[in-house]
Structures are given as structure tokens and as C-alpha cells.
Structure 1
């Protein structure tokens, strides 16, 4: 049996609008890169959570909340979105192009604390 899942995506300009409060709702940004990558900076307000720890921290997610997952290029964050969708989370978005796309569009990067 083949399951096809469509991952919702958000691009950097739209995410910037969301960060400015133009989406009319709240959301969390989850950065699934490695601690070494995250140490180089991330999107302001992003929460560090390396991809391999997402299943272990599933209990920290609320299915009613909205989440934007980000990684370097968008591949690992797409995996995180698929994982979450398979567990009944509907409001999960992949940042198209990841941090590469974010920085190419002039998105602000802030220093990050290490993932716990």
C-alpha cells in the first residue's frame, strides 16, 4: 500500500510576515538542524530540536498548535513534517529552501542557544 502525503510549505517572505504578526495566529518555529549547525545562528524565536530528537519530544507538541519546521535546505524539516502528519498533526509547515532560502531573502538570523 502506498501512502502519499502532501507537505504544507511556507516560503521565507511569508514566514517573515508571520513573524511580524500578519498571520493572525500563533505558531512555533522548530529548528531541526544539528547543534553544530544551530550554533551558527537561526531564525529569531526558533526552538532548537535536532531531527533525531523530534520523536522523543512528541509529547511536547500540541496538535492544536501551528508549527514551522526548518533545517539547512528543507529536506530534514520535510521529514519532520511528514512524521508529524503521520501522527495526526495538521498544522505543520516546512520552510521551503530552509536556512539557505531564508538567508537568500534577507531573513534575520540570531544567535541560538544549544539544544537540550
Structure 2
């Protein structure tokens, strides 16, 4: 079965912040030691290995943007979430590398 992963780039995600307010959620799937160096503002830390056991924390009726370092791990998580019935899932193209290099704000992570 082929999964079509929706992607969002850093400038578009920055626009979402301005236009959608609380209408979406960002999940950072990197390891905690990576996340501690900075993440997308408002992102919730959920390391990739914990996603299957934390599915109940995610809302199927809400847009979810998944973030990692380069976009590879988050793409895998997006595929997994689609397999679990989530259809409003977006991969941040280029991950934190693209987010930071496009001049977007990097914030300290929220407490777990």
C-alpha cells in the first residue's frame, strides 16, 4: 500500500502560527537530548519510539505537524499515524534543519 505523506515547509508552518492559532499541534519526534537543544515553538516532545504507546494523546480530528532533525524520522511517523487512521498529518519538510535555516524562531521544549 502506498502512503501519500503531506508535507509542510517552514515558511508555511510559520504562516499557520499566524492564521490558525490553536487549530493544530506540533509533535517533535526526536530524542530528548536532541529536543533539549531547541525545537519549533509550542512543539510537544514525543520521541519516535514512544509514539505507538502514546497514540491516545493524539487527536485524529486535529491537524498534526510532525518534526524531526531532517524530515526522515518524522516521515516514518507520519506513515505510521496514517496507518492508524490519522489523515490530518503533515511532515515538516527538512525538519529542524530547514526550520532554523529559514530564520524561524527556535524555542526551548515544553516539559514532558
TM normalised by structure 1 equals 0.92
Aligned match of 1:55: 52
CA displacement, residues 41-71 of structure 1 (integer Å, 9 cap, x when unaligned): 1011000000000000011112111100000
Mapped partners of 1:55, 1:12: distance in 2: 26
Mapped partners of 2:100, 2:21: distance in 1: 24
Q: Mapping of 1:1-116 within 5 angstroms?
A: 3-20=1-18, 22-23=19-20, 26-113=23-110, 116=112
Q: Secondary structure at the match of 1:13?
A: helix
Whether the 8 Å CA contact 1:39–1:113 is kept in 2: the answer is no
Q: Where does the alignment leave 5 or more consecutive residues of structure 2 unmatched?
A: none
Would you identify which runs of 4 or more consecutive aligned residues in structure 1 move more than 2 Å? Answer: none
Q: Where does the alignment leave 5 or more consecutive residues of structure 1 unmatched?
A: none
The RMSD of aligned alpha carbons is: 1.3
Whether the 8 Å CA contact 1:73–1:97 is kept in 2: the answer is yes
Q: Secondary structure at the match of 2:30?
A: coil
Bigger Cα Rg? 1
